[in-house]
């Protein structure tokens, strides 16, 4: 049945009865393609998430997900709804940011995503920032580089802290802190006693590396490729902590950010090799979607990073890294 109107020629009488909560739950499930992860992020039980999705499918009259084995996938209708639900979520976030601005900076909210390595120094920065703005609610998300890039693409974060942002994405990024990469070894390693280690000597060693796609791995491969050297990577690990433990155990060498090994240097559990072409000087960047309207809280934290990060994060004395 349809209704006709003099000013609008065709109006369906039946309207979709959707709630913002249903769309929020759907958007999380669709993002992760996983009910459990969506439930964790929303602080709901998995049955509650499943019930919201079933009600949403009932209101729309079409299935939104299909299950194959243990995995779920979006249906055609699910892909369409995902497009609209993300746009709605972005509009709601912008509306919330506008209201926060009206309330003033002290009532704002900041969602910050950082890559794993940056989490070694980010808490110190946040501690100082939060002392300056105690009523700003900060949500910190720590993930690998690919996940942080996805959060930027999905507009599910205000700002991100990462290494060199990739080309081709609609991202605005500015450097705010040096990020030296160094070659690490167990203190008893023969190369740790040398005053200078050549790249050719490193080529004979076994390396423990981060996963492909990580910023550290990319920088490592780039410097070796520039000198026609193929590093011998015996094992890939997804965390800096795993690499540090393996290097301490004498399983090989590693290349990590200097910021991630401060404690191990203090306790002499790791040594930095004085290798030629190292440290690799990179930078930490603060990034956001280029067209994103930043809230007052996000603008304040970005300005804080650009102006105060080098003061808040004291540089490691040169004597400790060559």
Reading the chain (322 residues) residue by residue, the pLDDT tens digits are 334 343 434 334 345 778 888 888 999 999 889 999 888 888 889 899 999 999 999 889 899 999 888 889 999 999 999 988 888 887 777 777 677 666 655 567 899 999 988 998 999 999 999 998 888 889 999 988 888 998 888 888 999 999 888 777 788 999 999 999 999 999 999 999 999 999 889 989 999 988 887 778 888 888 888 888 888 888 888 888 999 999 999 999 999 999 899 899 999 999 999 999 899 888 999 999 888 888 888 999 999 999 888 776 755 544 444 4
Domain presence at residue 92: no
Distance (Å, rounded) from C-alpha 138 to C-alpha 144? 19
- The count of domains in the chain is 3
Q: Are residues 148 and 183 in the same domain?
A: no
273 and 295 assigned to the same domain: no
Are 46 and 169 part of one and the same domain? no
Are residues 251 and 198 part of one domain? yes
184 shares a domain with 277: yes
264 and 289 share a domain? no
- Specify if 98 maps to a domain: no
Peptide bond into 160 cis (omega under 30): no
Does residue 67 sit within a domain?
yes
Do 34 and 183 fall within a single domain?
A: no
In a domain, 240, yes or no: yes
Give yes or no: residues 186 and 257 share one domain: yes
Q: Are residues 153 and 289 part of one domain?
A: yes
Q: Is residue 95 part of a domain?
A: no
Same domain, 273 and 200: yes
Distance CA 77, CA 29 (A): 14
89 found inside a domain: no
Looking at the structure, tell me whether residues 290 and 278 fall in a common domain. no
CA 148, 153, 155, 160 dihedral sign is positive
Residues of the domain holding 158: 104-177+283-320
Q: Are residues 256 and 296 in the same domain?
A: no
Distance CA 250, CA 271 (A): 12
Structure tokens given for 152: 């930027």
- Indicate which CATH number applies to the domain containing 306: 3.40.190.10
Integer Cα distance of 308 and 190 in angstroms: 40
């Amino acid at each position: 049945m349809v209704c006709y109107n003099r000013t609008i020629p065709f109006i369906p009488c039946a309207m979709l009865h959707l709630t913002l909560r249903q769309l929020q739950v759907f958007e999380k499930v669709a993002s992760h393609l996983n009910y459990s992860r969506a439930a964790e992020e929303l602080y709901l039980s998995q049955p509650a998430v499943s019930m919201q999705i079933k009600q949403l499918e009932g209101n729309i009259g079409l299935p939104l997900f299909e299950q194959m084995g243990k995995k779920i996938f979006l249906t055609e209708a699910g892909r369409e709804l995902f497009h609209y639900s993300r746009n709605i979520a972005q509009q709601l976030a912008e509306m919330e940011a506008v209201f926060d601005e009206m309330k003033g900076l002290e009532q704002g909210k900041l969602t910050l995503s950082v890559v794993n390595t940056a989490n070694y120094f980010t808490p110190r920065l946040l501690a100082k920032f939060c002392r300056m703005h105690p009523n700003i609610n900060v949500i910190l998300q720590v993930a690998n580089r690919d996940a942080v890039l996805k959060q930027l693409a999905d507009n599910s974060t205000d700002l991100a802290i990462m290494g060199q942002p990739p080309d081709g994405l609609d991202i605005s990024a500015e450097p705010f802190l040096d990020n030296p990469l160094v070659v690490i070894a167990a203190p008893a390693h023969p190369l740790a006693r040398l005053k200078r280690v050549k790249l050719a000597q490193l080529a004979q060693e076994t390396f423990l590396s981060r996963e492909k796609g990580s910023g550290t791995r990319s920088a490592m491969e780039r410097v070796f490729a520039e000198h026609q050297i193929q590093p011998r990577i015996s094992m890939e690990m997804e965390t800096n902590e795993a690499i540090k433990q393996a290097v301490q155990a004498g399983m090989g060498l590693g290349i990590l950010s200097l910021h991630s090994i401060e404690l191990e240097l203090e306790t002499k559990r790791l040594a930095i090799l004085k290798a030629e072409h190292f440290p690799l000087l990179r930078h930490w960047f603060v990034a956001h979607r280029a067209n994103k309207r930043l809230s007052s809280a996000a603008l304040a934290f970005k300005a804080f990073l650009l102006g105060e990060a080098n003061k808040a994060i004291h540089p490691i004395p040169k004597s400790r890294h060559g």
